[in-house]
């Protein structure tokens, strides 16, 4: 079996496994998994920029919340139907990521981290400032009756799960395609050695902007899906914490590996879920595990798997 087939097989296999999981797992876990898949889409968007292009953003909550509020506000205030709401979410993320990318990419390294962090902070404050519309920290709820596409009810466990799975599968295959394309290889080249990439004739400025925009729109898609499937939009999702989460998931799962974000999101989700059932100090448990992983699996779970066993992982 050649590597190409292995890659297709693995990706199709994971989507197949997630499909079967709904019928096998108890409802509690399949409910979790729906949430995890949406968050994993966020992490996959983040991974394209961080793991593949080597740009560490601390402001992705801005893109996630752009998608969330793009859809949420359109549905809440303007009675948009679900499909046009999704479109508004994607559009909002497209605009913010293009503007932020255009400006932030004038910097690099630590400055890029700070600039993206500040943009996201400005975004968060904007949400609070327009509290009249966004209802600030408190947020707003999307009515159950609005969250339907035709006769498909996105609030039922099955509707929610399969909508999340559909979005996940689209993004998962898209990322698989991108990182194995010439464009993806060029992004990896930028990560490895930007100066060399430039001096091989790659237009690194444009390539990086494209990476920011794709990453931002995918994060926005996750934000929109989150609001749609779980019926709530609030300013918490625009805070720094939500910029750090995808970084953690990706680091844990494996940066620059297509399956890393999913693995990291599942791991972190259940780590917190499990440890909070044991102790109030669950963040301490999570912290210790994170330290251990950084010490013993610095490339993340999937990253270590690739290093030791499956060199063909894209």
Residues in contact with other proteins, shown as a per-residue x/- string from 168 to 197 under the rule CB under 8 A? --------------x--xx-xx--xx-xxx
- Residue 203 within binding range of other proteins, rule CB under 8 A: yes
Beta carbon of residue 119, minimum distance to other proteins (angstroms, whole number): 26
Nearer residue to other proteins within complex by CB, 193 or 294: 193
Q: How far is CA 115 from CA 101, 219, 293, in A?
A: 10, 18, 29
CB-nearer residue toward other proteins: 193 or 241: 193
The Cα-based distances of 28 to 61, 154, 207, 292 in angstroms read 27, 17, 42, 29
| Shorter beta-carbon distance to other proteins: residue 26 or 201 | 201
Nearest distance from C-beta of residue 19 to other proteins, angstroms:
32
Min separation Cβ 198 and other proteins, Å: 6
Q: According to the binding rule CB under 8 A, does residue 198 interact with other proteins?
A: yes
- To other proteins, the closest distance from the beta carbon of 195 in angstroms equals 6
**H or E stretch covering 152:** strand 152-153
Closer Cβ to other proteins, 78 or 185, answer by number: 185
Nearer to other proteins, 21 or 299 (CB): 299
Candidate list 71, 179, 204, 302; residue touching other proteins; CB under 8 A: 204
Find the shortest distance in angstroms from Cβ 193 to other proteins: 5
Residue located via tokens 């992705």: 60
Q: How far is the CB of 192 from other proteins (least distance, A)?
A: 4
Q: What are phi and psi of 56, to 5 degrees?
A: -95, 110
The answer to whether 217 touches 45, Cβ cutoff 8 Å, is: yes
Tokens 């968050």: give the residue.
Answer: 39
For other proteins, the closer of residues 4 and 79 by Cβ is 4
Residue 81, phi-psi category: left (phi > 0), alpha (psi -120 to 50), beta (remainder): beta
3 binds other proteins (CB under 8 A): no
Under the binding rule (CB under 8 A), the answer on residue 150 touching other proteins is no
Is residue 313 packed enough to be buried (19+ CB in 10 Å), middle (13-18) or exposed (0-12)? buried
> What is the Cα–Cα distance from 122 to 120, expressed in whole angstroms?
5
Q: Which of residues 150 and 182 has its CB atom nearest to other proteins in the complex?
A: 182
Q: Does 302 bind other proteins (CB under 8 A)?
A: no
Spacing of C-alpha 250 from chain mean position: 9
- Does 238 sit near other proteins (CB under 8 A)? no
Shortest Cβ distance from residue 18 to other proteins (Å)?
30
Per rule CB under 8 A, is residue 120 in the interface with other proteins?
Answer: no
C-alpha 50, offset from chain centre: 11
Q: Residue 188, Cβ neighbours under 10 Å: how many?
A: 16
Token pair belonging to 4: 């190409």
Count of residues binding other proteins (CB under 8 A)?
Answer: 17
Distance from the first to the final alpha carbon of the chain: 16
Applying CB under 8 A, which of residues 19, 166, 199, 284 lies at the interface with other proteins?
Answer: 199
**Integer CA distances (angstroms), 26 to 32, 74, 141, 263, 266, in order:** 10, 34, 27, 20, 16
Nearer to other proteins, 26 or 182 (CB): 182
Q: Using CB under 8 A as the criterion, which residues of the chain lie in contact with other proteins when the complex forms?
A: 182, 185-186, 188-189, 192-193, 195-204
């Amino acid at each position: 079996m050649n590597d190409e087939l292995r890659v297709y097989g693995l990706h199709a296999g994971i989507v197949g496994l997630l499909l079967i999981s709904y019928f096998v797992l108890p409802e509690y876990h399949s409910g979790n998994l729906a949430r995890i898949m949406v968050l994993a889409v966020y992490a996959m968007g983040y991974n394209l920029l961080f793991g593949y292009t080597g740009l560490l953003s601390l402001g992705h909550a801005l893109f996630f919340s752009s998608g969330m509020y793009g859809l949420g506000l359109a549905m809440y205030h303007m009675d948009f139907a679900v499909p046009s709401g999704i479109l508004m979410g994607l559009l909002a993320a497209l605009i913010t990521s293009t503007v932020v990318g255009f400006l932030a990419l004038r910097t690099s390294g630590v400055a890029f981290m700070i600039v993206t962090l500040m943009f996201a902070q400005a975004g968060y404050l904007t949400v609070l400032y327009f509290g009249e519309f966004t209802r600030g920290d408190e947020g707003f709820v999307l009515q159950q009756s609005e969250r339907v596409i035709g006769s498909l009810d996105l609030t039922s466990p099955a509707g929610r799960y399969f909508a999340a799975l559909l979005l996940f599968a689209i993004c998962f295959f898209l990322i698989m395609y991108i990182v194995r394309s010439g464009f993806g290889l060029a992004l990896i080249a930028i990560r490895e050695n930007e100066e060399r990439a430039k001096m091989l004739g790659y237009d690194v400025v444009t390539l990086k902007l494209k990476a920011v925009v794709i990453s931002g729109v995918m994060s926005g898609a996750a934000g929109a899906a989150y609001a749609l499937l779980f019926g709530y939009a609030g300013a918490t999702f625009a805070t720094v914490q939500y910029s750090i989460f995808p970084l953690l998931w990706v680091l844990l799962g494996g940066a620059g590996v297509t399956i890393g974000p999913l693995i990291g999101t599942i791991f972190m989700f259940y780590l917190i879920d499990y440890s909070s059932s044991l102790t109030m100090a669950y963040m301490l448990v999570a912290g210790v595990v994170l330290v251990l992983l950084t010490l013993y699996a610095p490339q993340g779970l999937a990253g270590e798997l690739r290093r030791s066993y499956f060199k063909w992982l894209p």
